Structure 1
C-alpha cells in the first residue's frame, strides 16, 4: 500500500517562514519534521473539550522561522506534549460518507470527529492536491464551503492560524489538520455575524470607514460595551454576539476592502489588531491580553494567504474583511479596553533592555510556554515589515501602530512572560492579563510601584 503524501511531514529549505532574521541550523528541518510527524500521528487536535487546542505545530514552526536550533525545538515540543490526548479512532465508514456534502455537514461540529475528517482530507489532498482542496472546501461558495470558511475563524481563530502555518511551510499534512480542525470544532455561532455583516456591506447602505475608527465606535457604543461579560470566560465572543449582534454588525459592515486596496487593507488590519497591545491599565505592570494577542498571531496567517497567487482576489478580500470584522467582536468581548499608546511608546524595558529584533528572537525561543510568546513576537515583526510602507501615506492615521511601537510591544511581551511558570507549569496563565477591558482582570496583576 502506497504511503499517502498528505500524511507525511517534510519541511524544506524553500519554505522557511516569514519575518526571518537568521538561518536555521543544519539538521533542524529533519528534527522538526519528525516532531511534527509524531504530533500528526499521535495527538488529538484538542487536548481538552473546552478551549484546548493543540499548539505543537505552531510552536515548532515558529521556532524554525525564528532561526531556533535543536535545543529550542526540543523545548517547544516538550512544552506541548505533556497535556496532549491521543487521537480518537477513525470512523472508516464515515470517511466515505463525507464525500456527500450533506452527510459531511451533518457530521460537523463534533470534536472527536477530528480524526475522521483528517483521514478524509488526506484522501482528498492525495487525489486533488492541497491547493485545489482549499479552494473547493473554503472558497467555492457552496453551502459546505460557506460553513467551513466560517468555522476556520472559530475557537479564537485557531483553525485559520493552523491553516496559515500549513500554507506558509507548504505542508499538506498541516493543511489537512487545519481543515479537519475547522470541520470538527464546536460552533460559536459567528457564521450569522459574518453573513449578515457581509450582506449589509454589499447593500450599499453603509459607507466604508478606516478600521481604526471602527474600534472607537465599538468602544463608544454603550450597548456593545455593556454586552461584554468577564464571566463568559473563553466563550466571551459568543456572549457579546448574543447580546449585541445587531450593533456589532452595524459597525463591522463598515470595514470594506476594494481590490486595489488589498495590501493597504492587510496592513490596516495588522496595525489595528496590534494596537490592542496598548490595552494597558494605569498603575499596573504592563501585560499583553491573552485574547487580544490572537488578533496579532492570526494576522500573519492572513498575510500568508494574501500572498498566494492561487487564491482569487475576491476570496482574499472576503477573508480579510471577515478577519477585520471578527477582530472588532473580540475587541468588544474583552470589554472594549482603552488603548493607552503612551504606555507602549514610553515603556522602559527591563530584561529586554538593549535587545534588537535578533536578540529578541533568540531570547524568546527559550521561554517555556505552548508557543504563544514566539507566535506573538514573530507576528509583530512581520506586522512591522508589512505596515512600514504605509506609515507616511496620506492615510497614516489608519495605522495606529508604527515605528518602534512594534518592538516595544515585543519587549512588553518578553519582559512580562519570561520566567513565569518555569518552576510551576500551573502558573503559566500568569503570563497574560485575561480581559484587559475588565477591572477585575487587572486585580491579579502587580502594581507598577511593587516592581
Structure 2
C-alpha cells in the first residue's frame, strides 16, 4: 500500500497530506481510496526489507492514529541540532552521481521511462538509499532526516532544473516532488516512529528515482548560485523586505495554474524553517558545491519559478 500512496506522481500522498494538515478525514479517505484503485507498475520497487525492522504494530498503531480525531498529533518541528554528514541524504545523492552505472549518459537512457527504471535499476537505487540510515538514539533524528529530504528535493527541482545554456526550466515532475514534501511534517506527526522511518526512506527513494527518470540532470550548484545571486542581497541572505515571499505568493494567487501557488507556499514554508542555514552547513557531504548552499535556496527557487511561469509561459515543462 505504501508504494501505491507514493505512485501516480505522489498524488495520493498529497491528498492524504492535505487531510492530515487541515484535519479533514474525508481527504485522508480520498487519498487512500485513490491509492487503492489506480494502477501501479512499481509495486515491487520498495523491497520487503524496508519493513523488516519495523515492529508488528506499525500498521495497527498508525491506522489507529489516522482514524482517531485528526487533532491528536505529535509535533514535528525543526531543531537547532548539529548536522552530522555521515549517511546524509546529499552524501547518498553524491554517491549515485559518482557511480558509473548512473553516469549522465546512463541516466539519459531512462529519460521519460520511469517504469523501465524501477524495473531494471530499482534494486541498484535501493542499494544506495538503504545506506541512508537513521540513528534514533540521537535527539531530533526524524526532524533532521526530514530536513535532508526537503533539501534534496529542492536541489533536484531548482538546481536540476537550471543549466548555464538554457537557464531555469520548471519541471512538472520535480514540482510534484516539492509540493508533496510540504506534507511530510503533518503526515509524520500522526505516525509511530517506525512508520516515520519507513515513510521518509520510501519518499527519499522515490525522489531519487524521479530525478533519474528525468535524465538525472546535472547539479551545477556553484553555477546556479552565481547565476541567481541577483534574486537575493549581496550578503547572501534574503532581501530586506519584511517578507521576501510576499510578492511571489501574490503572483501565485492570480496564476491560472494552481500548482504555482502550491509550490510558492511550499518554498515559503521551508524558508521559514531552514532559511537561516548558513553557507558551510552541508560541508562534508561530498556533493560537489554543496558547501556553498545556504537558506536562500528556497527564495531563489521561488523566484525562478515565478519568472518561468510568467503569463508568457504559464505552463510547466515535462523536459529540460
Matched residues, number: 267
Q: Which of 236, 242, 267 does residue 380 from structure 1 map onto?
A: 267
Q: CA RMSD in A?
A: 2.9
Indicate the residue corresponding to 2:79 in structure 1.
none
In structure 2, which of residues 297, 307, 314 is the aligned counterpart of residue 405 of structure 1? 297
Matched, 1:278 2:162: no
Q: Corresponding residue for 1:94? A: none
- Kept in 2, the 8 Å contact 1:163–1:178? The answer is yes
Shift of 1:364: 1.6
Contact 2:280/2:294, CA 8 A, preserved across alignment: no
Question: With CA pairs under 8 Å and 6+ residues apart, which has the higher RCO, 1 or 2?
Answer: 2
Shift of 1:333: 1.1
1:211 and 2:93 correspond: no
> Which structure shows the higher helix fraction?
1
Aligned to 1:324: 204
The answer as to whether partners of 1:417 and 1:432 remain within 8 angstroms in 2 is: yes
SS at match of 1:195: coil
Q: 1:419 aligns with which of 292, 308, 311?
A: 311
Could you tell me how far 1:297 is from its partner in structure 2?
Answer: 1.1
| 2:170 aligned to which of 284, 288, 292 | 288
* Residue of structure 1 aligned with 2:130, choices 231, 250, 253: 253
Unaligned runs of 5+ residues in structure 2 are: 55-85, 232-238
Is the CA contact 1:167–1:305 (under 8 Å) kept in the aligned structure 2? yes
Residue-by-residue CA offset, 1:140-190 (whole Å, 9 max, x unaligned): xxxxxxxx222100011111011111111111121111011110111031x
TM-score relative to the length of structure 2: 0.74
Question: Secondary structure of 2:177's partner?
Answer: helix
Q: Please, which runs of 5 or more residues in structure 1 have no aligned partner?
A: 1-147, 203-207, 422-427, 436-440, 442-451
Aligned to 2:235: none
Superposed CA deviations along residues 311-349 of structure 1, whole A, max 9, x for unmatched, are 211111111111112111111111121112232453245
Give 1:197 deviation, angstroms.
Answer: 6.1
Q: Any residues of structure 2 matched to 1:300-319 within 5 Å, and which?
A: 300-306=182-188, 308=189, 310-319=190-199
Shift in CA distance, 419/394, structure 1 to aligned 2, threshold 3 Å? closer
Deviation per CA, 1:347-376, whole angstroms, max 9, x where unpaired?
245xxx98821121112211111x221121
Deviations 1:231-279 (A, max 9, x none): 63xxx32221122223212112111223341111011110111001112
Partner Cα distance (2:311, 2:49) in 1? 43
Contact 1:289 1:434 in 2 (8 A): yes
| 1:291 positional shift | 1.6
User: Do the aligned partners of 2:173 and 2:210 also contact (CA within 8 Å) in 1?
Assistant: yes
Q: 2:99 matched to which residue of 1? A: 221
- Which one has the largest radius of gyration? 1
Distance 1:286 1:394 in 2: 25
Q: Alpha carbons of 1:228 and 1:252: their partners in 2 closer, same or farther (altered >3 Å)?
A: farther
8 Å Cα contact 2:170/2:316 also seen in 1: yes
CA shift at 1:377, angstroms? 1.5
Partner of 1:153: 6
Alignment partner, residue 193 of structure 1: 45
TM-score (norm 1): 0.54
Q: Give secondary structure in 2 for the equivalent of 1:192.
A: coil
Distance in 1 between the 2:268 and 2:283 partners? 19
| Alignment-derived partner of residue 170 in structure 1 | 23
Q: Per-residue deviation at 1:420?
A: 3.7
Q: Assess if the C-alpha contact under 8 Å between 1:201 and 1:256 holds in 2.
A: no
Match of 1:31 in 2: none
Using the TM superposition, give the Cα deviation of residue 434 of structure 1 relative to its aligned residue in structure 2, in angstroms.
Answer: 2.3
1:264 aligns with 2:152: no
